[in-house]
Amino acid sequence: MNKYGGLESDSQKKNTNDSGAVRTNGSNLNDTMDALNKCFKHTGDMDRAFGRNGSAIIKRAYRTMAIHIRELQRDKEVVPSKEEIDNIANSCNIMVDVMMYSEQLSITKDVTRYYSSLVINWNDNTIRNNSIRRLSTVALRLLNAKTTLDDSIFVVQRLLTKLRGELRYEAPASKLSRHYLNSLDGVLEE
């Protein structure tokens, strides 16, 4: 677990659905919300990652979803208002924009992973809005693509380092061959 509450365990990797979202049923839902609460405590990092306004919108949308989820857990009906839906959709847009256009800080990755998973779960259990689901899924896919790209860059950098070393290496036999060819060149010129 990193300082923001992000988990990279095998159990989390197995607990994903087709969209890459962490399944948020039962204790996993509480784990997701706990991880987000830990992230939200790092206000400076949140503001740096999502901007002060973006961070406030995400936190407000999270509080709305947390209330709705608690009500759903008590078997109460939840009917989000248009304002709540718009705020959650706006928070998803912010998430996608940050994943597309900003530097990926550790907190950005953790918040995106958990927040998008929570939004997918909330959406599937309340309004079933295709646009909100798509935005959350896109944010997760961008996160996964960015992580894959970072891993690829790391591997290529290591290969380049190794290749540069190989290019500088000159086998002893090639030095002898060069000397022999140079000596023949001198004999042919005479």
29-58, pLDDT tens digit by residue? 889 999 999 999 999 999 999 999 999 999
Q: What is the pTM of this model?
A: 0.72
Cβ neighbours of residue 105 closer than 8 Å, sequence gap 6 or more? 45, 48, 49
Check residue 7 and give its pLDDT: 39
For the chain, percent of residues with pLDDT exceeding 70: 75
27 close to 83: Cβ distance less than 8 angstroms: no
* pLDDT tens string 21-31: 434 444 588 89
Give phi and psi for 22, each to the nearest 5: -70, 130
Same domain flag for 146 and 92: yes
Residue 120's Cα: distance from chain center in Å? 16
Same domain flag for 179 and 148: no
Same domain flag for 147 and 169: no
Same domain flag for 88 and 181: no
Rounded CA separation 42/30 (Å): 19
Mean pLDDT of all residues in the chain? Answer: 84
Check residue 4 and give its pLDDT: 55
Check residue 183 and give its pLDDT: 73
Mean of pLDDT values over 73-97:
96
Cβ neighbours of residue 29 closer than 8 Å, sequence gap 6 or more? 69, 118, 121
Mean of pLDDT values over 66-91:
96
Rounded CA separation 23/103 (Å): 27
Residue 79, pLDDT > 90, answer yes
Does any domain span residue 4? no
Q: Where are the alpha helices (DSSP H) in 1-81?
A: 10-14, 27-40, 43-50, 52-73
Rounded CA separation 133/96 (Å): 12
Residue 168 belongs to what domain range?
154-189
Mean of pLDDT values over 55-81:
96
- The count of domains in the chain is 2
The better pLDDT of the pair 18, 50 is held by 50
Same domain flag for 73 and 93: yes
Same domain flag for 160 and 149: no
Rounded CA separation 143/120 (Å): 15
